[in-house]
């Protein structure tokens, strides 16, 4: 029991110690029994990490969540032989995503046993940093692995980016509650300023440890010691990374300091960094293995000694300084130490020293953690070198260069910058760069800092460029262009390099150019407006606007030439109203000078120019620019100023430009005016009633609008051009020019259909002097509709080249109006004529309708057509082939009619003439045949093409005209016109042709339209006549038919009677046949008996040898045989025929038949029977047919002869012939040949041919015979090769032998 009690007391003691030591620690610490795996101790952190009460539970359950011990738990490395040794390994907790360094060590435990002590240090941050470190080449190791407490990071915007679990433990907050929020909210309000300063310093690369009060969840303030470094990624500062230690609980460390035992030592030994504890006298109390390694001394030689005793003097001195500071001030220090030895050269260390306090809060010593940072130092050195290099470049640069630090202070400026700013470099350096800028520039940079620039630069990967204004020392503003780039200096601090160029001159030049461009573009705007100006006033107003507003002249005026003076028409800027008229032949006025020379006149001092005309104002300089089109000056633009030489080259240029726009606008406006006037005349012209009116109006327009002095109008009359009217002369000269002649410019215009402009008539051969003298130039414009020239408008002038393109255009427009007016008048006249004709037509139509006789009616139609102006008219009736049946002529002489009939074209020719070949000669329903067309001569009149037109008439296949060419206008005497006469259904029933027009003109469509009416009327007349004729014909036919009917009835009756008789005969024959069949049957039995009896007798009597008796008996026997044959034939004939159809061929049938019949030697056989075609037939019956025929033939040639059998194919049929050269048959025999029982032979086959006939007919064939007495007989058998079979066979049953009836008859 006492033992147990002691053990418990020991246990409590140990546990108490462990708690005191490790509960405050950020690392996970636990002690486990290696045998039972029970957790004996766990520090608060551990408990927190794995949640809840843990002591007493199995380690594998708690840590791994397993049911069985894992390889860690069973690892006995630290026990037994290795007792006292530490086992260090890394563990990655996937669940939390964190890395741990685990240190295992066996420690003694009450109850005389060793247990597993394990401490797990969170090295996730370390791992990350490690990773980051390997990635970056330029960067030093900037993250210090400090003793783990709260590790945090803050992004640039002051928000917490990360927190470790120690934060939660110490403050009671959850990490999630704070991540992403401003860190200042955690800080005691009084400490916020300090905190911000520290943050800025860290970001600026000058971190300083700071103590801040931090609020815990419970509301208590904890004292935290913050050590921080800038967080750098890819060379850019992205925030602050720091360690915060809760120094509130430091007392515990102080207390525990006294109680350091082997357990704690084990921990310290395990830490890879150099760790040492010192007392207040700076004696080393505890050092770890890393320390030993560093100094190269055994622990025993270190403990209890000061740094001076173990370190080289320089290092010892460095340590002493910081130690003393820590011990004296009680602050945590971060220091850099360096030492050099021969072996390893200069080495750098970064050390964090933290004071240790005792229970009373008195500083009892310190703890130090050191890390070697040599490598980082080397990198920093390199950076510094680079900075030097850069500086040398900057010195020699031709641009101004400044380096600005993060506090916007200029830390460096080169000489060039000094020149630009007017300050010396020493004056610039140290200044806020914004002081150099104008107010505008300052405000621009108020909210923009280097950071922003750096960030933007990072995003855009571009150098930043600003255009700013600076204020020089001498007060002059200059424009500069500043390019900004950021770099990091040796200390990792951000620096902005600003490259400055003075761009003031360049800017000025650009502005000048812009101003000119602006003036020009404004001027152009006015030009556009000018083009659309509606009147001259608007043009003046716009011009003055342009001069005042765009060009900026104080005094501006416009002068225009009018007859003999240059008149002031518009002005602006003048206070007094005045008018000005300068005689064109005077020498006063600068404007007049410009007008006369056609060039701008710039007078810098008017007092020195005699031409100057004094106006109201105190004018000193003047500029006049002419307004001109080509070389024609219309007026002058004038500007004046009260200063000397106010106008420069640019002003002249711009004013000239404006003047040209004005000139164009004025000329456009003028032309528009003329056009409007012409159009007004055009309207008047369209209402003109006579040609005379038209001419008068036209000349009026030419004179008044177009302002020509001498104007003429010519009109086409037939083949001539006649001068109708003239203005400008006191009389109208008579003038007629032949259109096909060479004389007259007007003729030329009429012929070509194009305006002819003659600038100098003396050089023009065609020129003809009319009435006017001294003509030098002339313009002639044709008046035309489509391609038809109606006349010519003509103007003449005493000047050379008086007419330009504009004149031509305007005159053409007028000419087109005139043309329309003339053609309107012409049409009106034509219409009047037409309506007269129509009236005539109406009258004729009613008259025509009254005539009943077709011929007379056609004649009336022809006469009416003649009255429409055609001397010769022919109407012909045609049949369906267009052959002329009858003609009606009007205006033809007897001889001509005779000739017409002789030369009448056949129907097919007319068909061609109405067909597509002549389609292009169609005018409405009519065909117009122009003799002059060679194609017509060849294809219509059929005159050989080589014949000359003069000789052609001789060959002409039509009635030649009596007229001569001279009487005609555009019709040739041999021309003709024809049209088909169509019924409403479109059938052609007649042809109309006409020629020799009274007016000698080619017909127009309009003049032919009324005639078309006659075409229909004529067609209907003919059609009606035809109908009447047909009706008459039908009536006559009907009469004939009625007459014949009676006779036909008689014939028919006779035929019927014959048929009836035949039918009766046939029926009788049928009854006889039936009877014969029955008799034949019943005769067989007695014949059998007779036959048998005869046989018996013959057998018996043969032995007696009486020849006569035997002969008689044989005679009986023969006759029995013949009787039997007759019976057989009779039965065959009377039996119903059933065909047994098989496929066979002619040769087979004939050969089989020949095999049955014996041909005597005296008969020659000729066989021409082929194997084809295959036929379908009853083979047995066919065979019998030929057996019969062959037998007959043989019988017919008792004295010998030739038997010929042939077969031949005829369509779907086959014909056999069986011919003999025998006795032949007379007509009487032939008639009865097919009758049954008829025979010419003594012992003939009475039924033979009758049966043949029946069999042939049963096959759907025919059998015929030809015979000549003494010459021979030929039978022809024709059979279908594939007979159509009826259901019951080939033939209907017409004879029946009811065998049952025989039964009864025999019985009796």
Q: Which residues bind other proteins (CB under 8 A)?
A: 1081, 1084-1093, 1095-1096, 1099-1100, 1120, 1124, 1299, 1303, 1306-1307
- DSSP secondary structure of 256-320: HHHT--HHHHHHHHH-SSEEEEEETT--EEEE-HHHHHHHT--HHHHTT--HHHHS-HHHHHHHH
Q: Which is nearer to other proteins, 446 or 1308 (CB)?
A: 1308
| Least CB distance to other proteins at residue 1129 (A) | 14
* Ramachandran angles phi, psi of 957, nearest 5°: -95, 40
**What order do you get walking across the sheet with 113-122 strand by strand?**
39-42, 28-32, 113-122, 98-109, 86-93
Sign of the torsion formed by the C-alpha atoms of 1175, 1176, 1180 and 1185? negative
Q: Which is nearer to other proteins, 57 or 1125 (CB)?
A: 1125
| Least CB distance to other proteins at residue 1294 (A) | 19
| Least CB distance to other proteins at residue 1303 (A) | 7
| Least CB distance to other proteins at residue 1293 (A) | 16
Reported as half-sphere exposure (CB side, CA atoms, 13 A), residue 126 has a value of 16
Closest C-alpha among 1131, 1134, 1124 to residue 1083: 1124
Residues 411, 404 contacting (CB under 8 angstroms) = yes
Alpha helices in 397-449 (DSSP H): 415-421, 425-428, 439-446
Where on the phi/psi map is residue 882: left (φ > 0), alpha (ψ -120 to 50), or beta? left
Q: Which is nearer to other proteins, 1067 or 1088 (CB)?
A: 1088
| Least CB distance to other proteins at residue 1292 (A) | 20
Three-state secondary structure of 524-587: HHHHHHHHCCCCHHHHHHHHHHHHHHHCCCCEEEEEEEECCEEEEEEEECCCCCCCCEEECCCC
Query: Using CA atoms, how far apart are residues 635 and 1122, in angstroms rounded to an integer?
Result: 153
Q: Which is nearer to other proteins, 1088 or 1264 (CB)?
A: 1088
- DSSP secondary structure of 1001-1066: -PPPHHHHHHHHHHHHHHHHHHHHHHHHHHHHHHHHHHHHHHHHHHHHHHHHHHHHHHHHHHHHHH
Q: Which is nearer to other proteins, 265 or 1124 (CB)?
A: 1124
| Least CB distance to other proteins at residue 1132 (A) | 11
| Least CB distance to other proteins at residue 1091 (A) | 5
| Least CB distance to other proteins at residue 1109 (A) | 17
Q: Which is nearer to other proteins, 1044 or 1305 (CB)?
A: 1305
| Least CB distance to other proteins at residue 1084 (A) | 4
Q: Which is nearer to other proteins, 510 or 1180 (CB)?
A: 1180
Closest C-alpha among 209, 200, 194 to residue 494: 200
Sequence-ordered list of residues with C-beta below 8 angstroms from that of 962, at least 6 positions apart, any chain: 973, 996
User: E-strand spans in 719-826?
Assistant: 720-727, 736-738, 756-758, 777-785, 788-797
Residues 242, 153 contacting (CB under 8 angstroms) = yes
Q: Which is nearer to other proteins, 296 or 1092 (CB)?
A: 1092
| Least CB distance to other proteins at residue 1128 (A) | 9
Q: Which is nearer to other proteins, 338 or 1128 (CB)?
A: 1128
Query: Using CA atoms, how far apart are residues 625 and 602, in angstroms rounded to an integer?
Result: 8
Where on the phi/psi map is residue 1295: left (φ > 0), alpha (ψ -120 to 50), or beta? beta
Give the residue carrying structure tokens 């505008």. Answer: 440
| Least CB distance to other proteins at residue 1182 (A) | 17
| Least CB distance to other proteins at residue 1122 (A) | 12
Query: Using CA atoms, how far apart are residues 879 and 39, in angstroms rounded to an integer?
Result: 136
| Least CB distance to other proteins at residue 1226 (A) | 37
Residues 758, 814 contacting (CB under 8 angstroms) = no
| Least CB distance to other proteins at residue 1095 (A) | 4
Q: Which is nearer to other proteins, 648 or 1306 (CB)?
A: 1306
Residue 856: count of CB within 10 angstroms of its CB: 13
Q: Which is nearer to other proteins, 935 or 1122 (CB)?
A: 1122
Q: Which is nearer to other proteins, 51 or 1307 (CB)?
A: 1307
Closest C-alpha among 349, 267, 265, 264 to residue 307: 349
Q: Which is nearer to other proteins, 331 or 1087 (CB)?
A: 1087
| Least CB distance to other proteins at residue 1273 (A) | 33
Q: Which is nearer to other proteins, 734 or 1307 (CB)?
A: 1307
Residues 197, 172 contacting (CB under 8 angstroms) = no
| Least CB distance to other proteins at residue 1242 (A) | 22
Query: Using CA atoms, how far apart are residues 1237 and 703, in angstroms rounded to an integer?
Result: 130
Q: Does the bond joining 1279 to the residue before it have cis omega, within 30 degrees of 0? A: no
Closest C-alpha among 616, 615, 622, 619 to residue 637: 622
Sequence-ordered list of residues with C-beta below 8 angstroms from that of 667, at least 6 positions apart, any chain: 629, 634
Q: Which is nearer to other proteins, 1124 or 1229 (CB)?
A: 1124
Q: Which is nearer to other proteins, 1226 or 1305 (CB)?
A: 1305
Residue 510: count of CB within 10 angstroms of its CB: 11
Q: Which is nearer to other proteins, 796 or 1178 (CB)?
A: 1178
Q: Which is nearer to other proteins, 93 or 1116 (CB)?
A: 1116
| Least CB distance to other proteins at residue 1110 (A) | 15
3-state secondary structure of 943: coil
Strands 1163-1168 and 1201-1210: parallel
| Least CB distance to other proteins at residue 1086 (A) | 7
Where on the phi/psi map is residue 1224: left (φ > 0), alpha (ψ -120 to 50), or beta? left
Query: Using CA atoms, how far apart are residues 389 and 490, in angstroms rounded to an integer?
Result: 12
């Amino acid at each position: 029991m006492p033992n147990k009690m002691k053990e418990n007391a020991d246990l409590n003691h140990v546990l108490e110690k462990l708690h005191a030591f490790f509960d405050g620690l950020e690392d996970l610490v636990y002690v486990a029994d290696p045998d039972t795996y029970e957790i004996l101790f766990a520090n608060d952190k551990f408990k927190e990490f794995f949640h809840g009460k843990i002591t007493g539970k199995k380690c594998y359950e708690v840590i791994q969540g397993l049911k069985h011990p894992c390889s860690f738990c069973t690892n006995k490395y630290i026990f037994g032989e290795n007792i006292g040794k530490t086992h260090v390994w890394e563990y990655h907790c996937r669940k939390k995503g964190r890395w741990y360094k685990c240190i295992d060590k066996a420690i003694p435990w009450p109850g005389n046993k060793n247990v597993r002590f394990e401490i797990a240090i969170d090295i996730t941050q370390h791992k990350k940093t490690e990773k980051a470190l390997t990635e970056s080449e330029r960067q030093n190791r900037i993250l210090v692995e400090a003793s783990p407490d709260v590790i945090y990071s803050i992004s640039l915007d002051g928000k917490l980016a990360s927190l470790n679990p120690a934060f939660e433990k110490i403050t009671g907050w959850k990490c999630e509650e704070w991540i992403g929020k401003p860190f200042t909210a955690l800080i005691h309000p009084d400490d916020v300023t300090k905190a911000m300063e520290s943050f800025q310093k860290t970001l600026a690369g000058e971190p300083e440890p700071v103590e801040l009060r931090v609020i815990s969840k419970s509301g208590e303030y904890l004292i935290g010691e913050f050590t921080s470094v800038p967080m750098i990624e890819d060379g850019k500062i992205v925030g602050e990374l720091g360690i915060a230690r809760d120094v509130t609980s430091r007392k515990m460390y102080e207390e525990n300091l006294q109680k350091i035992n082997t357990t704690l030592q084990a921990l310290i030994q395990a830490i890879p960094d150099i760790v040492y504890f010192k007392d207040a006298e700076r004696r080393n109390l505890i050092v770890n293995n890393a320390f030993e390694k560093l100094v190269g001394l055994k622990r025993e030689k270190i403990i209890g000694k000061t740094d001076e005793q173990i370190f080289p003097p320089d290092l010892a001195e460095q340590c002493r300084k910081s130690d003393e500071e820590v011990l004296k001030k009680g602050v945590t220090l971060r220091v850099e130490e360096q030492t050099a030895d021969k072996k390893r050269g200069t080495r750098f260390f970064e050390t964090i020293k933290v004071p240790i306090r005792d229970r009373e809060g008195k500083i009892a010593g310190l703890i130090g953690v050191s890390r070697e940072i040599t490598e980082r130092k080397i990198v920093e050195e390199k950076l510094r070198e680079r900075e030097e290099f850069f500086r040398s470049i900057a010195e020699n640069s031709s641009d101004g260069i400044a380096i600005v630090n993060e506090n916007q202070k200029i830390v460096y400026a080169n000489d060039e910058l000094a020149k630009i700013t007017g300050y010396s470099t020493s004056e610039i350096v140290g200044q806020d760069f914004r002081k150099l800028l104008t107010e505008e520039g300052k405000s621009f940079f108020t909210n923009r800092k280097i950071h922003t620039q750096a960030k933007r630069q990072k995003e855009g990967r571009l150098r930043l460029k600003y255009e700013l204004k600076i204020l020089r020392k001498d007060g002059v503003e200059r424009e500069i262009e500043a390019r900004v780039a950021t770099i990091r200096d040796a200390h990792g601090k951000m620096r902005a390099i600003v490259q400055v160029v003075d761009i003031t001159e360049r800017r000025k030049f650009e502005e000048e150019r812009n101003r000119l461009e602006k003036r020009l573009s404004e001027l152009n705007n006015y030009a556009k407006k000018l083009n659309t100006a509606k009147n001259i006033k608007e043009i003046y107003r716009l011009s003055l606007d342009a001069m005042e507003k765009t060009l900026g002249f104080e005094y501006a005026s416009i002068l225009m030439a009018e007859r003999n003076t240059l008149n002031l028409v518009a002005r602006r800027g003048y206070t007094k109203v005045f008018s000005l008229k300068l005689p064109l032949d005077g020498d006063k006025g600068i404007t007049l000078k410009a007008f006369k020379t056609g060039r701008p006149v710039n007078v810098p001092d008017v007092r020195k120019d005699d031409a100057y005309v004094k106006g109201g104002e105190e004018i000193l300089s003047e500029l006049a620019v002419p307004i001109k089109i080509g070389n024609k000056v219309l007026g002058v633009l004038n500007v004046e100023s009260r200063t000397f030489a106010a106008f420069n080259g640019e002003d002249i240029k711009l004013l000239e430009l404006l003047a040209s726009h004005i000139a164009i606008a004025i000329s456009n406006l003028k032309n528009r005016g003329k056009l409007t006037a012409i159009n007004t005349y055009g309207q008047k012209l369209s209402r003109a009633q006579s040609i005379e009116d038209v001419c008068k109006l036209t000349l009026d327009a030419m004179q008044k609008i177009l302002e020509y002095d001498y104007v003429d109008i010519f009109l086409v009359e037939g083949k001539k051009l006649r001068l109708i009217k003239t203005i400008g002369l006191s009389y109208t000269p008579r003038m007629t020019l032949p259109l096909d002649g060479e004389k007259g410019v007007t003729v030329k215009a009429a012929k070509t259909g194009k305006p002819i402009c003659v600038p100098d008539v003396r050089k023009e051969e065609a020129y003809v002097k009319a009435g006017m003298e001294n003509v030098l130039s002339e313009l002639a414009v044709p008046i035309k509709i489509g391609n038809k020239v109606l006349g010519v408008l003509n103007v003449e002038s005493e000047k050379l080249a008086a007419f330009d393109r504009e004149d031509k255009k305007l005159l053409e427009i007028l000419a087109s109006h005139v043309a329309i007016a003339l053609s309107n008048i012409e049409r009106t006249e034509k219409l009047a004529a037409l309506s007269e004709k129509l009236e005539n037509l109406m009258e004729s139509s009613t008259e025509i309708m009254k005539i009943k006789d077709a011929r007379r009616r056609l004649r009336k139609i022809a006469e009416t057509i003649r009255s429409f102006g055609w001397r010769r008219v022919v109407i012909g009736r045609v049949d369906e082939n267009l052959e002329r049946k009858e003609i009606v002529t009007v205006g033809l002489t007897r001889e001509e009619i005779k000739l017409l009939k002789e030369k009448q074209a056949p129907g097919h020719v007319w068909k061609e003439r109405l067909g597509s070949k002549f389609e292009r000669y169609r005018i409405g329903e009519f065909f117009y045949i122009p003799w002059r067309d060679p194609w017509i001569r060849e294809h219509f009149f059929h005159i050989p093409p080589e014949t000359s037109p003069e000789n052609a008439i001789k060959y002409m296949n039509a009635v030649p005209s009596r007229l001569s060419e001279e009487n005609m206008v555009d019709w040739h005497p041999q021309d003709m016109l024809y049209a088909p006469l169509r019924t409403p259904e479109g059938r052609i029933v007649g042809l109309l042709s006409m020629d020799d027009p009274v007016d000698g003109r080619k017909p127009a469509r309009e003049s032919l339209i009324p005639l078309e009416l006659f075409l229909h009327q004529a067609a209907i007349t003919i059609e009606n006549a035809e109908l009447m004729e047909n009706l008459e014909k039908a009536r006559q036919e009907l009469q004939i038919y009625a007459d014949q009917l009676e006779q036909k009835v008689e014939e028919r009756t006779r035929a019927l009677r014959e048929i009836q008789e035949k039918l009766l005969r046939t029926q009788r024959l049928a009854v006889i046949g039936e009877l014969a069949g029955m008799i034949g049957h019943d005769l067989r039995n007695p014949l059998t008996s007779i036959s048998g009896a005869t046989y018996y007798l013959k057998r018996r009597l043969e032995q007696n040898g009486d020849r006569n008796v035997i002969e008689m008996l044989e005679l009986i026997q023969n006759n029995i045989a013949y009787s039997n044959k007759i019976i057989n034939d009779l039965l065959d004939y009377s039996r119903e025929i059933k065909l047994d159809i098989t496929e066979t061929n002619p040769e087979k049938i004939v050969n089989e038949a020949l095999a049955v019949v014996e041909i005597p030697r005296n008969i020659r056989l000729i066989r021409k029977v082929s194997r084809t075609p295959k036929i379908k037939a009853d083979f047995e019956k066919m065979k019998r047919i030929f057996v019969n025929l062959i037998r007959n033939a043989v019988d017919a040639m008792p004295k010998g002869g030739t038997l010929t059998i042939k077969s031949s194919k005829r369509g779907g049929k086959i014909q056999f012939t069986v011919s003999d050269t025998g006795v032949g048959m007379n007509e009487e025999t032939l008639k009865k040949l097919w009758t049954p029982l008829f025979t010419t032979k003594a012992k003939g086959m009475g039924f033979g041919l009758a049966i043949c006939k029946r069999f042939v007919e049963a096959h759907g064939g025919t059998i015929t015979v030809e015979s000549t007495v003494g010459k021979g007989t030929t039978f022809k058998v024709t059979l279908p090769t594939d007979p159509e079979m009826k259901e019951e066979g080939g033939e209907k049953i017409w004879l029946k032998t009811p065998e049952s009836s025989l039964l009864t008859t025999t019985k009796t």
